[in-house]
Structure 1
Amino acid sequence: MKISFAKPDIPAKGALVVGVLDGKTLGATASTLDELTGGQLSRALAAARFKGETGKTLVVTAPHGITLDRIVLVGLGKPEAITATTMEALGGTAVATLGGLGDETAALAVDLPKEAAISAADAACHAALGATLGGFRFDKYRTTEPPEDRPALKTLTILCDDAAGARAAFGPANAVAEGVVLTRRLVSEPANVIYPETFCEAVADLDDLGVSITVLDEAKMRKLGMGALLGVAQGSARPPRLLVMEYRGAKDKKAPPIAFVGKGVTFDSGGISIKPAASMEDMKWDMGGAGVVAGLMKALAGRKAKANVVGICGLVENMPSGTAQRPGDVVTTMSGQTVEVINTDAEGRLVLADALWYCQQEFKPSHVIDLATLTGAIVISLGSEHAGLFSNNDDLASAIASAGTAVGEKCWRLPLGDAYDKMIKSDIADMKNVGNREAGSITAAQFLQRYIKETPWAHIDIAGVTWSKRDTPTVPKGGTAFGVRLLDRLVREMIEGEAPAADPGEDEAAAKPAKAGKGKSAKAKGGKKK
């Protein structure tokens, strides 16, 4: 779908989408259409239950007095509550509605009430972003789908008073959207298509955007002593990889980078501790953390972020076989610390242990943030509404929560502490890879913290938010790419120095109670050097 921007006008053909405020209040373009159609919109509104609530729609087909095929009314809610998120929902809802109607050409009018706290250019930009994100569709393997079931929309024109400003703003926003799309495609692919080697191939073209790519094979990782990551991979015929992506966009290219580390288990059978058969097909997206890191690197490089960034993905396949890791095995991590493997299905933390240590040893980052579909326990705790957030640094945790709220990717902070750390004490090694059934997400984070030195660090457990079983305006059912927009926003605010979002709302405040230390980084446990 091609998106363009133009000054307000009534198109001669296709569909036109207009917003309606709460209480059935028409905006400027909708009022003009009402006059041109002899009050047809007013009559349609009077006869419908549609009241202008956010996200609700009303379609008027073949309106009298004009040559448009249809007018789509989309609710905007209360005028004083219109934000960037509202406009994204407008764009996404418009595309979703038009997708089932057969129009190839459409326009979307951005008419803002005076109460709205957003400029015309920003509103149009976010409407276009919402349309782009909401229009994503993974249909690569649909070979017999009837043409009438496929979205027909090819061009969408966003109409606003400041078309030039919107066009300029959409450049960087669209780069972020392209990062989101990359992540969604990676996460949606089946495990026979995306595995460690092909994941690296899928991101090789990031080199064209200025991202330097290095891939460590099994021999190099073994030489570095990555016994934990290699232990997970040893049951699979697919060899593991450590993917390293570097982007140096800051003025000082030698300044310490911010680092993002992703769990990339391209299929997780559970290994010898095999999972139940029901829904095991979902485990193709157990590489969601790595997918987010790859998409984030594409987004940052695509918009030419003024930041030094490193993205690292630990890529393995966890399979049962005669060579697979067994419960009770002890592995030695790159840090020199030993782990008793109690459950081979708690493999993501083993992969991250070596990836996190390598990241700090090699790049001396200013901050480290890891993302992983790490625990089922986080789904029980938070469902699909929030990601779990853990950190050794209050400022970093607060910045992540605020950025997430601003883009609609909400995080909820959970505690860390010595009592939880004791739950992973092993009788024969430095630690075991699982505790008991209590506080499963927290003990997983405690495990990771043992591989953090003095660096400000955060762990985001995205197990509940990586895949969606329902459509929302900007996130169609399937891979969500949760984390790409959040972390892009974080880099903008924390590294590039852009002003943070005003009044992030109650969710950020709610994410603060469980603290892991004040101000500076709380000292990490473990951290034994090799």
Structure 2
Amino acid sequence: MSGPACAGEITVLPRPLRRPARVLLAGVGAGDEAGWRAAGAGIVRALGDDERAQILLPADAPVRALAEGVWFGGYRYRDAPTPPRSGRVDLVAPASPEQVALLRQARATATATWLARDLTNTPASTKNPEWFADQVVALAADRPGLTATVLAGAELERFGGLLAVGGGSVSPPRFVELSWTPAGPARHVVLVGKGITFDTGGISIKPRDGMKLMKKDMGGAAAVVAATLAAAELSLPVRITTLVPLAENAISGSAFRPGDVITHYDGSTTENTNSDAEGRLVLADALGYAADRLRPDLVLDLATLTGANAVALGKRTAALYTPDDELARALAEAGAAAGERMWRLPLADDYLENLRSDIADRISTPPGPGSVMAALFLRDFFGDTPWAHLDMSAPSWAEDHDLELTKGATGWGARTLIRYLSALDGGQ
């Protein structure tokens, strides 16, 4: 009898009156990391909630991928009515220091992914900007090398985009700075994550179907926070400053309007032409803050920014924008290894004329290809710092179980960032 070949496909062989009572054959597809990750997820889903299993592995098996798949596939939202699983999976393989190190990386990656999924799955009735900021502060507490600070109220005076977007909500905005500072870091990387805890569209209101999942509009913020915590757990020799602008885009008499002119942290101005394009306005402030206060070697931003991303690339692929070919290659390789696809799209200067405003430095929603125009808008705020922008709205959510993904928030981006940051050294 031949076993399953498709990655993640499980064949169950019952063994009545014997131990073990059944044997699972798991397909690994082509045998790459993605196949082994899918196999791990398939195995854990085939088990009962309190069942125990052993996975027998050859010496050359990609242990990290398999372990990640087991953890990813076993995820349940922490506040779900179904209790957490209490089963156990033992990996049986020849022991070596290399395998132990890979399992440590897998665990850190899984912990980060679970955290990003939990934060994103949390309902907006709980997850306002203050709540999210409090979570980051609590997570950073008592962890050597990690610090978290939160700006609120008058401290946000220069953050015009953040104040405009959050001005219509009874839950005021916050700005979080989370820092990992190892001894003798090779480089300083700034991570920026869009943190809109719920997006009604504001005065440019969304239809009901477009609004019902908008608790996920802070998926970028969840990913960068989770990746930073993993970097600290793994003691990565890279200084990381993570910036999270947090706001709820609501509708009220104090909501910002189409036609308003917003002054950003860097002093430049934007004419708001659509209050449902709020993410770029809060990111602009964070990027201006990074350029002015932090002067990093590299800036990466993750944002559930446009629906145009899904139109162009589908549900499993993020859009990557950067003028740097080497950075594009390194991020794409990290994403491929982590199981988070991305595709580089052009920053076409042909469209720059569309950004012009008669009353400000730019308009917020210029005509043209939506995801590209949003990236061109953000490019103004990076200055001369090497940077990349990831538009990851579509892959931040799964409609059903899909290989190592579980239904709901995917935690997209945390895995890629951990792989990328782990590979950084002073020479890259």
CA distance in 1, matches of 2:323, 2:424: 17
CA distance in 2, matches of 1:187, 1:340: 30
Aligned match of 2:104:
171
TM-score by length of 1: 0.77
CA distance in 2, matches of 1:152, 1:296: 24
Q: Matched residue of 1:76: which SS? A: coil
CA distance in 2, matches of 1:290, 1:106: 35
Answer yes or no: is 1:233 the counterpart of 2:166: yes
Q: Matched residue of 2:91: which SS? A: strand
CA spacing shift, 1:429–1:404, aligned 2, 3 Å: same
Equivalent position amino acid for 2:336 in 1 = T
CA distance in 2, matches of 1:275, 1:405: 33
Aligned match of 1:94:
43
CA spacing shift, 1:162–1:156, aligned 2, 3 Å: same
CA distance in 2, matches of 1:152, 1:483: 25
**Cα offsets for 1:322-369 (capped at 9, x unmatched):** 000011111111111111101000000000000011012111100001
CA distance in 2, matches of 1:111, 1:163: 13
Aligned match of 2:296:
365
CA spacing shift, 1:69–1:412, aligned 2, 3 Å: same
TM-fit CA distance, 1:153? 4.8
How many residues are matched? 426
Higher Rg:
1
TM-fit CA distance, 1:475? 1.3
Equivalent position amino acid for 1:57 in 2 = I
CA distance in 1, matches of 2:360, 2:85: 60
Aligned match of 1:475:
405
Aligned match of 1:207:
141
Q: Is this contact kept in 2: 1:228–1:350, CA < 8 A?
A: yes
* Off by >6 Å, runs of 4+ in structure 1: none
CA spacing shift, 1:60–1:163, aligned 2, 3 Å: farther
CA distance in 2, matches of 1:295, 1:139: 16
User: Which structure 2 residues correspond to residues 494-509 of structure 1 after superposition, within 5 A?
Assistant: 494-495=424-425
RMSD: 1.9
Q: Matched residue of 1:327: which SS? A: coil
Q: Is this contact kept in 1: 2:27–2:35, CA < 8 A?
A: no
Q: Is this contact kept in 1: 2:195–2:221, CA < 8 A?
A: yes
Answer yes or no: is 1:140 the counterpart of 2:79: yes
Aligned match of 1:396:
327
Select which of 5, 20, 32 maps to 1:68. 20
CA distance in 2, matches of 1:137, 1:312: 27
User: Which structure 2 residues correspond to residues 238-249 of structure 1 after superposition, within 5 A?
Assistant: 238-249=171-182
Higher RCO, 1 vs 2 (CA within 8 Å, ≥6 residues apart): 2
TM-fit CA distance, 1:476? 0.8
Q: Is this contact kept in 2: 1:176–1:302, CA < 8 A?
A: no
TM-fit CA distance, 1:419? 1.7
Aligned match of 2:95:
162
Q: Is this contact kept in 2: 1:180–1:295, CA < 8 A?
A: yes
CA distance in 2, matches of 1:318, 1:443: 21
TM-fit CA distance, 1:157? 0.8
Aligned match of 2:256:
325
Aligned match of 1:105:
52
Percent identical: 38
Q: Is this contact kept in 2: 1:175–1:302, CA < 8 A?
A: yes
Aligned match of 1:181:
114
Q: Is this contact kept in 2: 1:104–1:152, CA < 8 A?
A: no
CA distance in 1, matches of 2:389, 2:284: 12
Equivalent position amino acid for 1:167 in 2 = V
Aligned match of 1:82:
31
CA distance in 1, matches of 2:92, 2:187: 43
CA distance in 2, matches of 1:346, 1:190: 21
TM-score by length of 2: 0.95
CA distance in 2, matches of 1:417, 1:312: 27
Q: Is this contact kept in 2: 1:176–1:303, CA < 8 A?
A: no
Q: Matched residue of 1:421: which SS? A: helix
Q: Is this contact kept in 2: 1:177–1:299, CA < 8 A?
A: no
Equivalent position amino acid for 2:358 in 1 = D
Q: Is this contact kept in 1: 2:227–2:418, CA < 8 A?
A: yes
TM-fit CA distance, 1:298? 1.2
CA distance in 1, matches of 2:187, 2:53: 46
Q: Is this contact kept in 1: 2:354–2:366, CA < 8 A?
A: yes
CA distance in 1, matches of 2:304, 2:28: 34
Select which of 392, 397, 401 maps to 1:462. 392
Instruction: Structure 2: give runs of 5+ residues left out of the alignment.
Output: none
Select which of 65, 89, 93 maps to 1:126. 65
CA distance in 2, matches of 1:460, 1:431: 21
Q: Matched residue of 2:90: which SS? A: strand
Q: Matched residue of 1:492: which SS? A: helix
CA distance in 1, matches of 2:417, 2:191: 9
TM-fit CA distance, 1:268? 0.3
CA distance in 1, matches of 2:111, 2:395: 19
**Cα offsets for 1:357-412 (capped at 9, x unmatched):** 10121111000011100011111111112100111222211211111112111111
- Range with bigger deviation, 181-190 or 200-209: 200-209
TM-fit CA distance, 1:291? 0.6
Select which of 364, 379, 393 maps to 2:310. 379
Q: Is this contact kept in 1: 2:187–2:426, CA < 8 A?
A: no
Equivalent position amino acid for 2:262 in 1 = V
Q: Matched residue of 2:28: which SS? A: strand
Q: Matched residue of 1:426: which SS? A: coil
Instruction: Structure 1: give runs of 5+ residues left out of the alignment.
Output: 1-41, 113-118, 499-530
Q: Is this contact kept in 1: 2:8–2:41, CA < 8 A?
A: no
